[in-house]
Amino acid sequence: MNDNDRRLIAECLAGRADAFGELVVRYQDRLFNSVARILDNPDDAADAVQDAFINAYVSLASFKGDAEFFTWLYRIAFNTAVSLKRRRKQLVSLESGRDGEASIDPIDPSDETQPGLALQRREEEGLLQAGLNRLSADHRTVLVLKDIDGLKYEEIAEIVGVPIGTVRSRIHRARLELKEFLDPDFGNQFPPGASNR
């Protein structure tokens, strides 16, 4: 585990609550970006991240330190996001006519000075998010963790609670599905009846 994380956790457990605040500052953006990709709603992602930090703070004494703090924290956020998504899905199914689409704003503030680039980036982000939304929740989660967050297979397996082989398989299938969505001609390169795995 990262020495700085270990020190901050020890200080927090010793009663210095602002040490946990430093951990929040260190990981909140990374955690938010990951959860936002899974939930496809910035408000829900912010709620999930806030709940995850609260749960992590309350449960900090149970953190064994045998994995990276971010992996442990992400696992909490992932479970929170999945629970929130289930609750929101039930709520949406009960509300008729609710528009569940979320807008995606450009991430880079300098894009404001380059309208063409901002528009292009927004279109690319929208296309990527639309592709991610077409994936199953299992496939979308592992793909975000691997290709966007850059986590190792072992960390992903620990976060989602499945064997590494299953993680590899899901990532492979998710990449193929996303590639087919982003490049419709991709599926045409395989003869009829052939597997595109």
For residues 90 and 117, membership in a common domain is answered with no
Asked whether residue 144 is domain-assigned, the answer is yes
For residues 121 and 67, membership in a common domain is answered with no
**Mean pLDDT for the chain?**
79
The pLDDT assigned to 89 comes to 64
Model pLDDT for residues 3-62, shown as the tens digit of each residue: 889 999 999 999 888 999 999 999 999 999 888 888 888 888 899 999 999 999 999 988
Give the span between the Cα atoms of 52 and 35, in whole angstroms.
11
Total of domains in the chain: 2
Residue range of the domain that includes 171: 110-184
Give the span between the Cα atoms of 128 and 180, in whole angstroms.
12
pLDDT above 70 for 86 = yes
Q: Which of the listed residues 70, 94, 118 is the one where a domain comes to its end?
A: 94
For residues 73 and 121, membership in a common domain is answered with no
Model pLDDT for residues 35-51, shown as the tens digit of each residue: 888 888 888 889 999 99
For residues 83 and 152, membership in a common domain is answered with no
Which letter, b or e, does each residue of 30-40 get, where b requires 16 or more Cβ atoms within 10 Å of its Cβ?
ebbebbbbbbb
Closest CA to 16 of 3, 28, 7, 4: 7
CB within 8 Å of 27: residues ≥ 6 apart: 69, 70, 73
Q: Using 50, 70 and 90 to split pLDDT, how confident is the model at 169?
A: very high
Asked whether residue 101 is domain-assigned, the answer is no
Q: Residues 100, 84: contact at Cβ < 8 Å?
A: no
Q: Is the pTM of this model over 0.75?
A: no
CATH of the domain at 15: 1.10.1740.10
Give the span between the Cα atoms of 72 and 57, in whole angstroms.
12
